[in-house]
Amino acid sequence: MLDALADGPVAGPELAADLDVSRAAVWNHVEALREAGVAVESTDDGYAVTDVTGYSAEALAFGLDAPFAVEYRDSVGSTNDLARDLAAEGAGDVAVVADEQTASRGRLDREWVSPPGGVWLSVVCRPDVPPAHAPAYTLAMAVAVARACREAGVDARIKWPNDVLAGDDGGARGGRKLCGVLTEMEGEADRISWLVVGVGLNANVDPDDLPAGADATSLLAERGDPVDRRVLVQRVLEGFDDLRGDLRGAVSAWEEYADTVGRRVRVDTPGGVVEGEAVGVEFPGALVVDTGAETVRVTAGDCEHLRPVDGGD
Ligand code: BT5
């Protein structure tokens, strides 16, 4: 029904014939769409979608220009956990979206706070690439989020490896945390079975409802008014779908939005602390750091932006 109505009004009998269902079934579907926040009206030319106000599977799927099926929940423990369950059952190209999460996670099992009003989204993919390329999906998603936020009027920048920042924090970190990405996967040594890319984007959320120590912000706080989450999710999914088809291009695009490159950084890696100037990012996602003594490629870790040594700004 959503696909059939996407290109404009369609007469009831035509819908019934195209979808091979009865007129009564068409009517039932129209009612279900209305309940899901997709306004369908009877016009002289047939049924037409006149407005989409809901945040539901139907509303998110309507007009989405990317091949993801949408699983929506008002409340869920973690969209990444539900996405992992679906992936384990064989699903691919599914976007799990929730209004609220009650047990969401950051990296290394850190707590992620997800009140109603945010964009809590996890995408299941089954890419035919080696596991070593997985970090490029995190970068691709960060680019998709940064672009969608900029389209919504917020000057988003990316901090390696998985944060999107916005606003002003007085210059210490380069902005407050607007979004975090959590990529998880299962596979063998040479192939990925499934990959789940989770996005926690503080959309219509009051920063007072986020952890005080996290120095977080939201689109609502930066813009001063709420964003249309449906459009935002669609832009993120469409952007991510484009970027995942060209992962090397995604990593180059990442540099355009990166706030980390050119900064002094301290990266806490599994192999120890690396401190120096971030000079670039290399496929599939390594941060290149010039320590003064050598050039180090960091593939994983927590990155802290430091104030410039010369006190520049
Ligand atoms: C991340 O971890 O930034 C990845 C967050 C991914 C969350 C999404 S939501 C959809 C999907 N389902 C899930 O269960 N997870 C994913 P990390 O870099 O480890 O940052 C975690 C830290 O961010 C915490 O220790 C807090 O300090 C801070 N934090 C928690 N909630 C926050 C929020 N809503 N906004 C900003 N910072 C937050």
Is the CB of residue 84 below 6 angstroms from any atom belonging to ligand 1? no
CATH architecture of 264-306: Roll (2.30)
161 CA to middle of ligand 1, Å?
13
Is the CB of residue 97 below 6 angstroms from any atom belonging to ligand 1? no
31 CA to middle of ligand 1, Å?
37
- Which pLDDT value is given to residue 312? 47
Is the CB of residue 263 below 6 angstroms from any atom belonging to ligand 1? no
Is the CB of residue 211 below 6 angstroms from any atom belonging to ligand 1? yes
CATH for 57-257 (3.30.930.10, 1.10.30.50, 3.40.50.970, 3.40.220.10): 3.30.930.10
Return the bridge partners of 289, or none. 278, 296
Residue 311 scores a pLDDT above 70: no
Stretch (H or E) spanning 174: none
> In sequence order, what DSSP letters do the residues of 137-166 get, joined into one string?
HHHHHHHHHHHHHHHTT---EEETTTEEEE
Is the CB of residue 112 below 6 angstroms from any atom belonging to ligand 1? yes
Domain boundaries, the chain: 2-52, 57-257, 264-306
Residue 283 scores a pLDDT above 50: yes
Residue 181 scores a pLDDT above 80: yes
Calculate helix-pair angle for 247-257, 135-151, nearest 10 degrees. 50
Tens of pLDDT, residue by residue over 128-164, are 999 999 999 999 999 999 999 999 999 999 999 999 9
Stretch (H or E) spanning 74: strand 69-76
Is the CB of residue 216 below 6 angstroms from any atom belonging to ligand 1? yes
Question: What is the distance between the alpha carbons of residues 161 and 219, in angstroms, rounded to a whole number?
Answer: 21
Nearest residue to 145 (alpha-carbon basis) of 295, 216, 55, 250? 250
State which ligand 1 atom lies nearest to the alpha carbon of 176.
Answer: 36
Is the CB of residue 214 below 6 angstroms from any atom belonging to ligand 1? yes
* Mean per-residue pLDDT over the chain, rounded: 95
- The domain defined by 2-52 carries CATH number 3.40.50.300: no
- Which pLDDT value is given to residue 86? 98
User: What's the distance, Cα to Cα, between the start and end of the chain in Å?
Assistant: 55
Is the CB of residue 300 below 6 angstroms from any atom belonging to ligand 1? no
> 307 falls in which pLDDT band (50, 70, 90)?
confident
Question: What is the distance between the alpha carbons of residues 22 and 28, in angstroms, rounded to a whole number?
Answer: 10
- Which pLDDT value is given to residue 170? 74
> 47 falls in which pLDDT band (50, 70, 90)?
very high
10-35 mean pLDDT = 94
Is the CB of residue 138 below 6 angstroms from any atom belonging to ligand 1? no
Return the bridge partners of 299, or none. none
State which ligand 1 atom lies nearest to the alpha carbon of 213.
Answer: 27
- Which pLDDT value is given to residue 310? 58
166-178 mean pLDDT = 86
The CB-side HSE value for 183 (13 A sphere, CA atoms) comes to: 22
200 CA to middle of ligand 1, Å?
6
Question: What is the distance between the alpha carbons of residues 90 and 288, in angstroms, rounded to a whole number?
Answer: 36
Residue 313 scores a pLDDT above 60: no
67 CA to middle of ligand 1, Å?
26
Helix, strand, coil share of the chain (percent; to 5): 35, 30, 35
107 CA to middle of ligand 1, Å?
7
The total of other beta-carbon atoms located within 10 Å of residue 38's CB is: 24
Q: Which of 173-177, 223-227, 281-285 has the lowest mean pLDDT?
A: 173-177
- Which pLDDT value is given to residue 309? 63
Residue 33 scores a pLDDT above 70: yes
State which ligand 1 atom lies nearest to the alpha carbon of 104.
Answer: 14
- Which pLDDT value is given to residue 198? 98
267 CA to middle of ligand 1, Å?
18
> 281 falls in which pLDDT band (50, 70, 90)?
very high
102-129 mean pLDDT = 97
Tell me the two tokens of residue 119. Answer: 């964009």
Percent of the chain past pLDDT 70, that is, above it, reads 98
